[in-house]
Protein backbone atom coordinates (compact mmCIF):
# COMPACT_ATOMS: atom_id res chain seq x y z
CA UNK A 1 0.00 0.00 0.00
CA UNK A 2 1.25 3.45 -0.78
CA UNK A 3 -0.08 6.90 0.03
CA UNK A 4 0.68 10.10 -1.84
CA UNK A 5 0.32 13.42 0.02
CA UNK A 6 -1.57 16.28 -1.65
CA UNK A 7 0.31 17.95 -4.49
CA UNK A 8 3.27 15.59 -4.24
CA UNK A 9 5.54 15.54 -7.26
CA UNK A 10 8.04 12.72 -7.64
CA UNK A 11 10.57 13.47 -10.34
CA UNK A 12 10.77 10.93 -13.17
CA UNK A 13 8.08 8.84 -11.53
CA UNK A 14 4.59 10.31 -11.79
CA UNK A 15 3.84 13.85 -12.85
CA UNK A 16 0.04 13.61 -12.93
CA UNK A 17 -1.49 10.45 -11.49
CA UNK A 18 -3.99 12.28 -9.36
CA UNK A 19 -6.61 14.93 -10.10
CA UNK A 20 -8.41 13.63 -13.14
CA UNK A 21 -8.15 15.08 -16.58
CA UNK A 22 -11.80 16.00 -16.88
CA UNK A 23 -14.51 17.69 -14.89
CA UNK A 24 -16.76 15.42 -12.84
CA UNK A 25 -19.96 13.99 -14.30
CA UNK A 26 -20.22 16.16 -17.38
CA UNK A 27 -22.45 14.78 -20.07
CA UNK A 28 -21.05 14.04 -23.50
CA UNK A 29 -21.98 15.49 -26.84
CA UNK A 30 -23.85 12.42 -28.06
CA UNK A 31 -21.40 11.73 -30.86
CA UNK A 32 -18.92 9.45 -29.16
CA UNK A 33 -16.67 12.22 -27.88
CA UNK A 34 -16.89 15.09 -25.45
CA UNK A 35 -14.56 17.97 -24.79
CA UNK A 36 -12.26 17.72 -21.80
CA UNK A 37 -9.32 19.64 -20.43
CA UNK A 38 -6.40 18.13 -18.61
CA UNK A 39 -5.77 18.88 -14.95
CA UNK A 40 -2.61 17.07 -13.89
CA UNK A 41 -2.50 16.39 -10.19
CA UNK A 42 -0.83 14.29 -7.60
CA UNK A 43 2.00 11.97 -8.44
CA UNK A 44 3.09 8.71 -6.93
CA UNK A 45 4.91 5.46 -7.18
CA UNK A 46 3.55 2.16 -6.01
CA UNK A 47 4.15 -0.89 -3.92
CA UNK A 48 2.38 -4.01 -2.75
CA UNK A 49 -0.38 -3.91 -0.19
CA UNK A 50 -1.12 -6.51 2.42
CA UNK A 51 -2.66 -9.59 0.93
CA UNK A 52 -6.13 -10.97 1.37
CA UNK A 53 -7.88 -14.25 0.95
CA UNK A 54 -9.73 -15.08 -2.26
CA UNK A 55 -13.49 -14.84 -2.12
CA UNK A 56 -15.45 -17.98 -2.83
CA UNK A 57 -18.72 -18.62 -4.54
CA UNK A 58 -20.58 -16.59 -7.13
CA UNK A 59 -22.11 -17.21 -10.49
CA UNK A 60 -19.01 -18.59 -12.16
CA UNK A 61 -15.26 -18.75 -11.60
CA UNK A 62 -14.03 -20.12 -14.92
CA UNK A 63 -13.12 -18.54 -18.21
CA UNK A 64 -14.20 -19.65 -21.63
CA UNK A 65 -16.03 -18.58 -24.76
CA UNK A 66 -19.72 -17.91 -24.66
CA UNK A 67 -22.33 -16.30 -26.88
CA UNK A 68 -23.66 -12.85 -26.12
CA UNK A 69 -27.30 -12.21 -25.28
CA UNK A 70 -29.69 -9.27 -25.26
CA UNK A 71 -30.21 -7.08 -22.22
CA UNK A 72 -32.79 -4.70 -20.77
CA UNK A 73 -31.23 -1.66 -19.16
CA UNK A 74 -34.21 -0.94 -16.94
CA UNK A 75 -34.45 -4.38 -15.35
CA UNK A 76 -32.12 -7.17 -14.35
CA UNK A 77 -30.15 -8.20 -17.43
CA UNK A 78 -30.38 -11.81 -18.57
CA UNK A 79 -27.11 -13.52 -19.46
CA UNK A 80 -26.02 -17.08 -20.07
CA UNK A 81 -22.83 -19.09 -19.72
CA UNK A 82 -21.20 -21.77 -21.85
CA UNK A 83 -22.28 -24.58 -19.53
CA UNK A 84 -25.89 -24.47 -20.66
CA UNK A 85 -27.05 -23.37 -17.20
CA UNK A 86 -30.21 -21.24 -16.87
CA UNK A 87 -29.79 -17.52 -17.60
CA UNK A 88 -28.34 -15.40 -14.81
CA UNK A 89 -30.37 -12.33 -13.82
CA UNK A 90 -27.62 -9.72 -13.67
CA UNK A 91 -28.22 -6.23 -12.34
CA UNK A 92 -26.64 -4.82 -15.50
CA UNK A 93 -24.85 -6.09 -18.59
CA UNK A 94 -23.88 -4.90 -22.04
CA UNK A 95 -22.13 -6.81 -24.82
CA UNK A 96 -22.09 -3.75 -27.13
CA UNK A 97 -24.00 -5.58 -29.86
CA UNK A 98 -26.78 -2.95 -30.01
CA UNK A 99 -26.05 -0.27 -32.60
CA UNK A 100 -23.89 0.05 -35.68
CA UNK A 101 -20.08 0.19 -35.83
CA UNK A 102 -18.88 3.75 -35.41
CA UNK A 103 -21.94 4.70 -33.39
CA UNK A 104 -22.63 5.31 -29.73
CA UNK A 105 -22.98 2.64 -27.09
CA UNK A 106 -26.61 1.88 -26.21
CA UNK A 107 -28.01 5.21 -24.91
CA UNK A 108 -30.53 3.38 -22.69
CA UNK A 109 -27.53 2.11 -20.71
CA UNK A 110 -24.67 4.56 -21.20
CA UNK A 111 -23.91 8.23 -21.51
CA UNK A 112 -20.65 9.84 -22.52
CA UNK A 113 -19.11 11.26 -19.39
CA UNK A 114 -15.87 12.80 -20.63
CA UNK A 115 -13.50 12.33 -23.45
CA UNK A 116 -10.69 13.91 -25.40
CA UNK A 117 -10.50 10.70 -27.41
CA UNK A 118 -13.28 8.60 -28.93
CA UNK A 119 -15.39 5.73 -27.59
CA UNK A 120 -17.50 4.08 -30.29
CA UNK A 121 -18.83 0.67 -31.25
CA UNK A 122 -16.47 -1.45 -33.34
CA UNK A 123 -16.54 -4.74 -35.22
CA UNK A 124 -12.74 -4.88 -35.47
CA UNK A 125 -12.56 -7.31 -32.54
CA UNK A 126 -14.84 -8.65 -29.82
CA UNK A 127 -14.61 -10.97 -26.86
CA UNK A 128 -18.07 -12.30 -27.63
CA UNK A 129 -20.49 -11.61 -30.46
CA UNK A 130 -19.24 -9.33 -33.23
CA UNK A 131 -18.81 -5.92 -31.56
CA UNK A 132 -17.14 -4.20 -28.64
CA UNK A 133 -16.44 -0.66 -27.46
CA UNK A 134 -13.35 0.81 -29.12
CA UNK A 135 -11.62 3.56 -27.14
CA UNK A 136 -8.91 5.68 -28.74
CA UNK A 137 -7.07 7.73 -26.13
CA UNK A 138 -4.86 10.58 -27.33
CA UNK A 139 -1.30 10.96 -26.17
CA UNK A 140 -2.01 13.79 -23.73
CA UNK A 141 -3.26 13.61 -20.15
CA UNK A 142 -6.95 12.89 -20.72
CA UNK A 143 -9.95 10.76 -19.83
CA UNK A 144 -12.25 9.11 -22.35
CA UNK A 145 -15.11 7.48 -20.42
CA UNK A 146 -18.68 6.33 -20.80
CA UNK A 147 -20.71 5.77 -17.66
CA UNK A 148 -23.83 3.98 -16.48
CA UNK A 149 -26.15 4.68 -13.55
CA UNK A 150 -28.50 1.77 -14.37
CA UNK A 151 -27.74 -0.63 -11.49
CA UNK A 152 -27.28 2.00 -8.77
CA UNK A 153 -27.92 2.44 -5.91
CA UNK A 154 -26.96 -1.09 -4.92
CA UNK A 155 -27.87 -2.94 -1.73
CA UNK A 156 -25.47 -2.22 1.13
CA UNK A 157 -23.42 -0.04 -1.25
CA UNK A 158 -21.62 -3.18 -2.47
CA UNK A 159 -21.36 -4.75 -5.90
CA UNK A 160 -19.41 -7.10 -8.13
CA UNK A 161 -18.29 -6.07 -11.60
CA UNK A 162 -16.79 -7.79 -14.62
CA UNK A 163 -15.47 -6.61 -17.96
CA UNK A 164 -13.05 -7.66 -20.67
CA UNK A 165 -10.49 -5.36 -22.26
CA UNK A 166 -7.78 -5.59 -24.91
CA UNK A 167 -4.81 -3.21 -25.39
CA UNK A 168 -3.44 -3.13 -28.92
CA UNK A 169 0.01 -1.68 -28.13
CA UNK A 170 1.81 -0.41 -25.03
CA UNK A 171 4.01 2.70 -24.94
CA UNK A 172 7.04 0.99 -23.42
CA UNK A 173 9.31 4.05 -23.11
CA UNK A 174 6.91 6.39 -21.27
CA UNK A 175 5.99 6.68 -17.64
CA UNK A 176 2.18 6.43 -17.58
CA UNK A 177 -0.60 5.65 -15.14
CA UNK A 178 -3.88 4.59 -16.77
CA UNK A 179 -7.38 3.61 -15.67
CA UNK A 180 -9.83 1.30 -17.45
CA UNK A 181 -12.65 1.29 -14.87
CA UNK A 182 -13.69 3.42 -11.92
CA UNK A 183 -16.71 3.96 -9.69
CA UNK A 184 -17.88 7.33 -8.38
CA UNK A 185 -20.74 8.53 -6.25
CA UNK A 186 -22.09 10.76 -3.52
CA UNK A 187 -20.65 11.71 -0.14
CA UNK A 188 -17.19 12.51 -1.49
CA UNK A 189 -15.50 13.06 -4.84
CA UNK A 190 -13.32 9.94 -4.67
CA UNK A 191 -12.68 7.70 -7.67
CA UNK A 192 -12.17 4.02 -6.87
CA UNK A 193 -10.39 2.73 -9.92
CA UNK A 194 -8.46 -0.15 -11.48
CA UNK A 195 -5.80 0.25 -14.12
CA UNK A 196 -2.08 -0.03 -14.61
CA UNK A 197 1.19 1.80 -14.34
CA UNK A 198 4.43 1.76 -16.30
CA UNK A 199 7.77 3.22 -15.24
CA UNK A 200 10.67 2.24 -17.48
CA UNK A 201 13.06 4.73 -15.90
CA UNK A 202 13.79 3.52 -12.41
CA UNK A 203 15.47 0.32 -11.28
CA UNK A 204 12.88 -1.96 -9.75
CA UNK A 205 9.84 0.21 -10.43
CA UNK A 206 7.01 -0.91 -12.76
CA UNK A 207 6.68 -2.13 -16.33
CA UNK A 208 2.94 -2.16 -17.11
CA UNK A 209 1.61 -3.72 -13.93
CA UNK A 210 -1.79 -3.55 -12.22
CA UNK A 211 -2.93 -0.96 -9.69
CA UNK A 212 -6.02 -0.41 -7.51
CA UNK A 213 -6.18 3.29 -6.75
CA UNK A 214 -8.34 5.78 -4.83
CA UNK A 215 -7.97 9.37 -6.03
CA UNK A 216 -9.50 12.10 -3.88
CA UNK A 217 -9.43 15.09 -6.25
CA UNK A 218 -7.10 17.24 -4.23
CA UNK A 219 -6.45 15.43 -0.95
CA UNK A 220 -3.92 12.89 -2.17
CA UNK A 221 -4.31 9.35 -3.40
CA UNK A 222 -3.61 5.81 -2.28
CA UNK A 223 -2.83 2.65 -4.23
CA UNK A 224 -2.19 -1.07 -4.04
CA UNK A 225 -0.23 -2.71 -6.85
CA UNK A 226 0.31 -6.13 -8.36
CA UNK A 227 3.61 -6.79 -10.10
CA UNK A 228 2.25 -9.22 -12.70
CA UNK A 229 2.80 -8.00 -16.26
CA UNK A 230 0.07 -6.62 -18.51
CA UNK A 231 0.95 -7.63 -22.08
CA UNK A 232 -0.59 -6.13 -25.19
CA UNK A 233 -2.50 -8.10 -27.80
CA UNK A 234 -4.74 -10.25 -25.59
CA UNK A 235 -8.09 -10.05 -23.82
CA UNK A 236 -8.17 -9.77 -20.03
CA UNK A 237 -11.10 -10.66 -17.82
CA UNK A 238 -11.17 -8.04 -15.05
CA UNK A 239 -13.42 -8.66 -12.04
CA UNK A 240 -13.81 -6.57 -8.92
CA UNK A 241 -15.80 -6.37 -5.72
CA UNK A 242 -16.34 -3.00 -4.09
CA UNK A 243 -17.94 -3.02 -0.64
CA UNK A 244 -18.60 0.53 0.48
CA UNK A 245 -20.12 -0.34 3.85
CA UNK A 246 -19.29 2.66 6.08
CA UNK A 247 -16.45 1.76 8.41
CA UNK A 248 -15.84 -1.56 6.66
CA UNK A 249 -14.75 -0.69 3.12
CA UNK A 250 -13.18 -3.53 1.11
CA UNK A 251 -12.03 -4.04 -2.48
CA UNK A 252 -10.96 -7.17 -4.33
CA UNK A 253 -9.60 -7.47 -7.87
CA UNK A 254 -9.43 -10.63 -10.00
CA UNK A 255 -7.47 -11.01 -13.24
CA UNK A 256 -8.55 -13.89 -15.47
CA UNK A 257 -10.43 -15.45 -12.53
CA UNK A 258 -7.46 -15.30 -10.12
CA UNK A 259 -7.55 -12.86 -7.21
CA UNK A 260 -4.70 -10.42 -6.80
CA UNK A 261 -4.00 -10.77 -3.09
CA UNK A 262 -1.75 -7.69 -3.08
CA UNK A 263 -4.66 -5.54 -4.31
CA UNK A 264 -7.13 -6.94 -1.75
CA UNK A 265 -7.67 -3.84 0.36
CA UNK A 266 -9.52 -3.52 3.67
CA UNK A 267 -10.85 -0.63 5.73
CA UNK A 268 -7.40 0.58 6.85
CA UNK A 269 -6.63 1.24 3.17
CA UNK A 270 -9.80 3.32 2.84
CA UNK A 271 -9.38 5.19 6.13
CA UNK A 272 -9.92 8.92 6.46
CA UNK A 273 -10.23 10.83 3.20
CA UNK A 274 -10.00 7.62 1.15
CA UNK A 275 -13.47 6.28 2.03
CA UNK A 276 -15.53 4.83 -0.79
CA UNK A 277 -18.42 7.05 -1.94
CA UNK A 278 -22.06 5.98 -2.07
CA UNK A 279 -21.84 4.48 -5.55
CA UNK A 280 -23.88 6.15 -8.29
CA UNK A 281 -22.00 5.55 -11.54
CA UNK A 282 -19.67 3.01 -13.14
CA UNK A 283 -17.21 4.45 -15.66
CA UNK A 284 -15.42 2.40 -18.33
CA UNK A 285 -13.02 3.60 -20.99
CA UNK A 286 -9.47 4.85 -20.77
CA UNK A 287 -7.77 7.59 -18.78
CA UNK A 288 -4.11 8.53 -18.78
CA UNK A 289 -2.53 11.06 -16.46
CA UNK A 290 0.73 11.89 -18.25
CA UNK A 291 1.58 12.84 -21.83
CA UNK A 292 2.88 9.84 -23.77
CA UNK A 293 4.37 9.24 -27.19
CA UNK A 294 1.88 6.63 -28.43
CA UNK A 295 -1.94 6.89 -28.25
CA UNK A 296 -3.70 3.89 -26.72
CA UNK A 297 -6.12 1.75 -28.75
CA UNK A 298 -8.31 -0.26 -26.37
CA UNK A 299 -11.35 -2.52 -26.83
CA UNK A 300 -13.86 -3.21 -24.03
CA UNK A 301 -16.54 -5.90 -24.01
CA UNK A 302 -19.08 -7.76 -21.86
CA UNK A 303 -19.44 -5.30 -18.98
CA UNK A 304 -21.61 -6.62 -16.14
CA UNK A 305 -22.65 -5.70 -12.59
CA UNK A 306 -24.27 -8.01 -10.03
CA UNK A 307 -24.74 -8.51 -6.30
CA UNK A 308 -22.57 -11.64 -6.33
CA UNK A 309 -19.56 -12.77 -8.28
CA UNK A 310 -20.29 -13.02 -12.02
CA UNK A 311 -17.20 -14.86 -13.23
CA UNK A 312 -15.55 -14.81 -16.61
CA UNK A 313 -17.86 -17.33 -18.28
CA UNK A 314 -21.13 -15.42 -18.02
CA UNK A 315 -21.98 -13.00 -20.80
pTM of this structure: 0.78
Number of domains in the chain: 1
Indicate whether 180 belongs to any domain.
yes
176 within some domain: yes
314 in a domain, yes or no?
A: no
Query: What's the full length of the chain, in residues?
Result: 315
With respect to residue 136, please indicate whether it lies within any of the assigned structural domains: yes
**Which segment of 60-69, 104-113, 290-299 scores lowest on mean pLDDT?**
60-69
Residue, of 129 and 70, whose pLDDT is higher: 129
**CATH code, 166:** 2.60.120.200
Q: How large a percentage of the chain has pLDDT more than 70?
A: 70
Residue bearing the bigger pLDDT, 12 or 81: 81
User: What is the model's pLDDT at position 210?
Assistant: 95
List the domain range (segments joined by +) for residue 79: 2-306
User: Using CA atoms, how far apart are residues 225 and 207, in angstroms rounded to an integer?
Assistant: 12
Q: What angle do CA 290, 292, 296 make, to 5 degrees?
A: 105
pLDDT, tens digit (0-9, with 9 covering 90-100), for 264-283: 999 999 999 999 999 999 99
Query: Helix count (H) and strand count (E) of the chain?
Result: 0, 18
Helices (H), the chain: none
Q: Do the Cβ atoms of 301 and 150 come closer than 8 Å?
A: no
**Separation between Cα atoms, residue 127 and residue 164, nearest integer Å:** 7
On whether residue 311 sits in a domain, the answer given is no
Q: Is residue 312 part of a domain?
A: no
pLDDT digits (tens, 9 = 90+) for 179-226: 999 999 999 999 999 999 988 776 555 578 999 999 999 999 999 999
Q: Are 66 and 82 in contact (CB under 8 A)?
A: yes
Q: How far apart are CA 211 and CA 183, in angstroms?
A: 15
Q: What is the pLDDT of residue 35?
A: 30
From the list 109, 284, 257, 61, the residue with the least C-alpha distance to 194 is 284
Whether residue 315 is contained in a domain is answered as no
Amino acid sequence: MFRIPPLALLASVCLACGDDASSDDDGGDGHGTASSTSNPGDGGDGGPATGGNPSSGGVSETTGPAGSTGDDATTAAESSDSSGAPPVQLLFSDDFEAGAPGGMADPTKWEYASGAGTAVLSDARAMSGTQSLHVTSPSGSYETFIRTAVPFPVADNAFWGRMYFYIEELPVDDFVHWTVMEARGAGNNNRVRVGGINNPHGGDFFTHTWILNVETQGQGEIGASDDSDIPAGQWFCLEWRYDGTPGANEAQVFIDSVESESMHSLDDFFAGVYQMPTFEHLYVGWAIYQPISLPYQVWIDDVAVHDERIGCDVR
